[in-house]
A and B are shown apart, each in its own frame.
Chain A
């Protein structure tokens, strides 16, 4: 069973701090990795994608990928109360199922003013 694991949280950080969200996955053949943000009562929204080892930065967001450790993370710098949401990690399940993204259960982030 291919799995994506996330700590459910809540992860509570003060405004202005760095929030670090982590995700591990079981399928070594995974090629594509995504972070989605979901506000309460809303649908998931893609915020980052990463395909190769290392860091990828986009504004206040940095995605980090380590395929050897099967680990992907999302850093949010200068956290704002508006960043409070559930963050979903999603992983492509490999070449044998190109349509299938496996989602984690999500980490709830709470940014305190």
Chain B
């Protein structure tokens, strides 16, 4: 298994759909992250979980709902998204106390129609 795996790789959804993105890390890390990457823009931090507790919610709209059932799994639940939410969504993990060296998953390319 590679370090951080994300599914699905690609997702097309309508504005009324509900879908979930899944992330799993096999590195023994205790912090997990969701980032959004839009074209020509910097990576935007969305959520951070440390030891399964949310420690950062970077002013993300409520149509994005994270869930971290344990230190290895992270979900991002999506509902009533807007076309401007189309982007690459990246999951990452790190070991707390290691100066935030992030290991990224392959990402989910999301298109909202």
**Which A residues are closer than 8 A to B by beta carbons?**
4, 8, 31-32, 34, 36, 42-46, 49, 51, 88, 90, 92, 97-106
Contact of B107 among A43, A46, A100 (CB under 8 A): A43
Are B55 and A45 touching (Cβ within 8 A)?
no
Q: List 20 A-B residue pairs with CB atoms under 8 Å apart, sorted by A's residue number.
A: A31-B99, A34-B102, A42-B106, A43-B105, A43-B106, A44-B43, A44-B102, A44-B104, A45-B104, A46-B102, A46-B103, A49-B101, A90-B43, A90-B102, A92-B100, A99-B33, A99-B48, A100-B48, A104-B42, A105-B40
Interface residue? B50 (CB, 8 A):
yes
Known contacts A104-B42, A105-B42; is A46 also within 8 Å of B31 by CB? no
Interface residue? B74 (CB, 8 A):
no
Q: In this complex, what residue of A is CB-closest to B48? A: A99
Q: In the bound complex, how far is the Cα of B92 from the Cα of A46, in angstroms?
A: 12
Q: In this complex, what residue of B is CB-closest to A97? A: B56
Given the complex, which residues of A lie within 8 Å of B76, measured CB to CB? none
Number of residues from B at the complex interface, CB < 8 A: 21
> B103 to nearest A CB, angstroms?
7
What string of 1s and 0s marks CB contacts (under 8 Å) between B84-107 and chain A? 000000100000000111111111
Interface residue? B112 (CB, 8 A):
no
Q: In the bound complex, how far is the Cα of B100 from the Cα of A49, in angstroms?
A: 10
Given the complex, which residues of A lie within 8 Å of B90, measured CB to CB? 43-44
Are A88 and B43 touching (Cβ within 8 A)?
yes
Are B99 and A99 touching (Cβ within 8 A)?
no
